[in-house]
Amino acid sequence: MSGQAHHAIDLWLPDLGRFAPDHPLRSLLRKADPLTAGPRGYMDGLAARFEWHGSLPAGALTRELIAGDAGEGTWLCADPSWVQPDLNGARLLACGQMQLSMDEAVALAEPLLPLFTEAGMTLWVSSPDHWHVRLPPNTATPDFAAPEQALGEDLYYHLPQGPEGRSWRILLNEAQVILHQHPFNAERRQRGLPPVNHLWLWGGGVLPGAVHAAYRQVIGDDLLLAALASQARVDCLPRTELTVSAALPGALIDLQDLPVDDIAARWMPSLLSLARQHPVQLSFASGERWLHRSWHRLRFWRGSGP
C-alpha cells in the first residue's frame, strides 16, 4: 500500500481505458495529481494491498471465511465454471458466477463426490458459487492459474503440465464429463443459461500464519478481499451507498469489478461527496494512480485532461 493511501481513501477502480471521456469520474481525474504506477489486475492488486508469506492460498482463506473450518488443512478453490469448446480447444468463459441456488449446487456436486473421494480428496459446496476441495496432508499442488489469468483463454495453456500434472488433468477431465452429462445443464440451456460444465481448481495452500494490511476498513463485496481483510483483522463492510458515503481516510473501497456505467449511474454521487471532504486515491486496475485532495475541486481551470 502506498504511503499516500495511509492518509487517503483508496478507491480501487476498473481499467482506466474503460472510462469514456465524458464519464463523470473524469471530472475528478482532471483535477487530481498523478502518482507512480501501481499494480495491474485483480491478483496483483490484492497482493499490493495485503501482506502474507508465500503464494495466495485462496482456497483456505475463502473456506475459512465461509465455514470457519480451514484449520491447518490444505484447500483448493473448486469454482463451478462454464467452458465453451471451439475449433482449437476449449475456453473458460465464466467462473464462480453461475447464478446457482444452494440446492442446485448440491445437486450438481453430488455425482462428483465419489470421484474426489477416490482421489483421496473431499469436495465441499461451501456456497452456491464457491466450492472447495480439501486435500490429504502434505499434498503438493501445481501452480493453478487464477480465474483472472485464464478467462477467455484456451484451457490447454492453464492446465497442470508434465508428469506431475497428469493425475490432475485426468481428474478435471472426468469431472468435466460428469458435469456435461448432468441433466441439470439441459434445464439451464432451456432457460437460456450457460451450462456448469467444469470446475476451476486454483488457490491451493494452507491458511497463512499472518496477514497484514495498512487499512482501517475495507468496503466491498468480493469474497477473497473479505477473506484477506478478516485474516488481517480489518473490518469489511458490504458495498452500499451508505457505507461508501461514510468512508474515511485509511479505507479501501473496491469498485474494480463493476461496469463503468454502473459506477456513473449509482456510485458517482457518493464518490463526488467523498472527494469534497477527504483525499481520495484513484487506483485503476490498469495501474494508473491519481491523488485528488478536497481543495483540488477549486482547480476550475483544469477543463480537460486524462
pLDDT, tens only, 214-256: 899 999 999 999 999 999 999 999 999 999 999 999 999 999 9
Q: How far apart are CA 156 and CA 169, in angstroms?
A: 10
207 grid coordinates: 491458511
Distance between CA atoms of residues 170 and 275, nearest Å: 53
Residues 6+ apart with CB under 8 A from 85: none
Residue 87 is predicted with a pLDDT of 79
Do the beta carbons of residue 90 and residue 101 sit within 8 Å?
no
Q: Is residue 306 part of a domain?
A: no
Model confidence at 6: pLDDT above 80: no
Whole-number percent of the chain with pLDDT over 70? 94
The pLDDT score that the predictor gives to residue 134 is 98
Q: What is the mean pLDDT of the chain?
A: 92
pLDDT for 302 equals: 56
**Is the domain of 30 the same as that of 73?**
no
pLDDT tens digits, one per residue of 142-162: 889 999 999 999 988 898 888
Same domain, residue pair 81 and 178 = yes
What is the model's pLDDT at position 219?
98
Are residues 258 and 233 part of one domain?
yes
Q: Is the pLDDT of residue 2 over 60?
A: no
Q: What CA–CA distance (Å, rounded) separates 259 from 265?
A: 10
pLDDT band at 86 (very low <50, low <70, confident <90, very high): confident
Tell me: pLDDT of 163 over 90.
no
Tell me whether residue 49 is in a domain. yes
- Span 61-74, average pLDDT: 97
Q: Is residue 95 one of the residues assigned to a domain?
A: yes
**What is the rounded distance in angstroms from the CA atom of residue 61 to the CA atom of residue 76?**
10
Domain count across the chain:
2
The total of other beta-carbon atoms located within 10 Å of residue 149's CB is 15
Domain that residue 162 falls in: 58-205
Note the pLDDT tens digit of each residue in 94-149: 999 999 999 999 999 999 999 999 999 999 999 999 999 999 988 888 889 999 99
Domain edge (last residue) among 173, 205, 237: 205
- Predicted confidence (pLDDT) per residue in 164-200, tens digit: 889 999 999 999 999 999 999 999 999 999 999 999 9
